[in-house]
Amino acid sequence: MSDFVTIVNSSFDNGIPFWIYTSDYIFGMVPVDASGARWKEISYTFEEPDNPLFITERAADLSFQFLLEEVEKGVSFYVDDLKVPMIKEFAKTLEGKPGPEKINAIIAELINNSSKYSSKFPIIKSKDELSSLTSKI
């Protein structure tokens, strides 16, 4: 648990992270360094008693794909009005761009325009909201 809290509390150190939460888990993508070339994927599953925290590190391109998959397939299961086709449409506008640019652009889009995609998108929009993640565990 303390590892998770440390990651959450430092998640804005190298840029803007992506954090979403559901009734079953928390999912995050956190930049490893300021260049945005590598990202940590974090998931914390509430009902997993032995090892609720999963962390892996990937290049930006692959992290972008995993982030999209999580939103389109994972979050859409919990958010009934999530407009997945609109998210896919925005993601297509990023094709051909470098990985760091793509992942930063999709995160900025989902944070800044979350209401365009859902009336109840469970996303953390600022550093001030991080305590809502740590209070869930």
Note the pLDDT of residue 13. Answer: 97
pTM > 0.75:
yes
Radius of gyration of the chain (CA): 14
Note the pLDDT of residue 2. Answer: 83
Note the pLDDT of residue 1. Answer: 60
Contact predicate 16/111, CB 8 Å: yes
The predicted-structure confidence for 93-130, as pLDDT tens digits, reads as follows: 999 999 999 999 999 999 999 999 999 999 999 999 99
The predicted-structure confidence for 29-66, as pLDDT tens digits, reads as follows: 999 999 999 999 999 999 988 899 999 999 999 999 99
| CA separation for the pair 33, 15 (Å, rounded) | 8
User: Please, what is the average pLDDT of the chain?
Assistant: 96
